Each structure stands twice: as C-alpha cells, then as structure tokens.
Amino acid sequence: MAETSAFNGELRGNLGRGASRDLRRQGHVPANVYGDGKGNLAITLDGAQVAREIVKPGFTNRLCDLVVNGEKMRVLPREVQVDPVFDKPIHVDFMRLSPTTRVRIYIPMTFVDEDQSPGVKRGGILNVVRRDVEFFCRADAIPESIRASAAGLEIGDSIHIDDIKLPPGVVATIKRNFTVATVTAPTIHVEEEKPTAAAEGALAEGAEGAAPAEGAAPAAGEDDKKPEGASKGAAGAKGAAPAGGKSAAPAGGKGAAPAGGKGAAPAGGKGAAPAGGKGAAPKTGGKDKK
C-alpha cells in the first residue's frame, strides 16, 4: 500500500481571487475537497507543509489523512497548481474517498533483474516504452509501483503487460496486451580516424620531396619520354649556344667573309693588280734594248 500523509486544514470563510491572494500573502494555500457524493469543501492549508510534501515522489498517488475542524477524512491529491515564477504551490484539489472507491490512476513502473537477462549481458539495452501505466484500483490499495522482471530476456524480446503479475484488484485501463519494455541491440557508431598533425606534416614533406627541383638535371631516360623542345633546359633553348641558327657564325651567308664576291679581294678582275695590262710594269727586252 502507498505511503500516507497527514494535513491539518481550516475552513475558508471568504471565497474568490482577492481572498485567495490574501491567504497566500499570509503563508497559506487554498484547497478544495470534493467527491464521495458530498458537497465541495473550501479549506486552507499550511503553505510550508504543502511545499514539503509536493516535492516528494508520487505525491498525486499518495493517500492523505485530512483533518478539518476535528473531522478526519481520507483524500487523494488530484491536482496541484504551482506559481510559474516562484515555483510555490498556490492551490490543491483533493478527492474524498471511501473504502469501496475505485480510482483511475497512473502508477510508475519499476524494472528489476536486468543482470539476469542474457541479452543485456551481451550488450543489449533495456528500452523502456512506458515508465508509468494507468490502472484501476481501490483507493485504499494503491501500489507505490508495478515491478516488471527482465530475467531471461534475449535481444529482441519484449515485456508485455500480460507478462507482469499485478497486485490483487489492480487492472490496466488499456484492454490490449501492450508493450512495456524491450531489449534492443546496441547501436555502434564508428568514427573515422582523422590524421594527426604529425601525420599531416609527414605527408606534406613526402609530397614536396617527390617533386623534382626546378632546373635540376633530368633523370636518365627522362628526355626520351619528353617531346622535342618540352624541357626548359634542353639544348636549343633560349640563351643556348646557336647551332646554325640566327646568331650562328655565317657560312657564306650575309655578313660572311666574301669569297670571290662583291667585297672580296679582286682576283684578276676590276681593280686587281694589272698583269701586263695598262699601268703594269713594262717587261724587259723591248725597244729599250735597242
């Protein structure tokens, strides 16, 4: 059976928003009690006591003994309103109960024996589908939680509501055999290994060492693979010694030493030394000998 709490309340004389604000300023919390075929009851509670109780787990599943003007009644908290700024309780609703009252209530699930599950031992994960389930039960027999065992479950197996042994008088509000939890295979995420800074530096150095230096002598047989005139430093390039080209020494061309040409030394031609002609040295033995 669930744990019970006790509250002491007083009847409220004035109703309305203004009266409720005055009560809160004085440290009280307005509350209402209804149900069990009786009229509503407007009361006030101690604000500090309500603040201590609502932070405990399962407050709305816990039975309370409420005493108002000496009258004791069994109630169940149904709703708690909290200030959105200061996070303090500002109103509570209680439902009056009788020994035969059946309530519709959410009860938390508790999963045990995970260490006895072969699927969990092999790395599987117990995936909880429903952390709390709504049940019908008697007001004086509300269980604190519903226990579900994971013993013997393999990867891919499930726990259904019909597999759970419920306390007497507790019935699920959903009629079908719904799933409460499953054992699933682990999800493995493989991350690609990124090269470190040292590895990146080594790769860069290797790439730079592989490229030949500018102006270096080509390897043996490299010129045979390159087309003619492709190499920058090959023979016949700009600045190399001319081989019969434009700047080569002329061989009978323009500017070459004349060989019997226009500017060549005359050989018996015009301007050449006369050989027995006009102006030539006279031969000995002519009329002069006479």
pLDDT at residue 281 is higher than 50 = no
Sheet of 132-138: strands edge to edge? 146-149, 102-112, 132-138, 171-172
Give this prediction's pTM: 0.56
In DSSP terms, 67 is beta-bridged to: 8, 72
From the candidate CATH numbers 3.40.50.720, 3.90.320.10, 1.10.30.50, 2.40.240.10, the one assigned to the domain spanning 4-98: 2.40.240.10
pLDDT at residue 107 is higher than 50 = yes
Q: β-pairing, 38-46 with 4-11?
A: antiparallel
Length of the chain: 290
- How far, in Å, CA of 95 to CA of 89, rounded? 18
Contacts of 66 (CB under 8 A, 6+ apart): 6, 7, 9, 33, 43, 72, 73, 74, 75, 94
Q: What pLDDT does 5 receive?
A: 82
- φ/ψ of 251, rounded to 5, equals -120, 85
- φ/ψ of 161, rounded to 5, equals -65, -30
- How far, in Å, CA of 150 to CA of 213, rounded? 71
Q: Residue 3: left if φ>0, alpha if ψ -120 to 50, beta else—which one? A: beta
**What stretch(es) of the chain map to CATH 2.40.240.10?**
4-98
* Homologous superfamily of domain range 104-184: Ribosomal protein L25, C-terminal domain (2.170.120.20)
Instruction: Find the radius of gyration of the CA atoms of the chain.
Output: 57
**What stretch(es) of the chain map to CATH 2.170.120.20?**
104-184
| 261 compared with 42, residue with greater pLDDT | 42
pLDDT at residue 78 is higher than 70 = yes
Contact 242, 248 (CB under 8 A): yes
> Which pair of structure tokens corresponds to residue 119?
């699927």
pLDDT at residue 40 is higher than 80 = yes
Lowest mean pLDDT among 65-74, 157-166, 206-215, 225-234: 225-234
- How far, in Å, CA of 185 to CA of 134, rounded? 28
Residue linked to tokens 């307005």: 30
Q: Residue 128: left if φ>0, alpha if ψ -120 to 50, beta else—which one? A: beta
Instruction: Return the closest-CA partner of residue 133 out of 92, 164, 98.
Output: 164
Confidence of residue 190 (pLDDT cuts 50, 70, 90): low
Q: What pLDDT does 92 receive?
A: 93
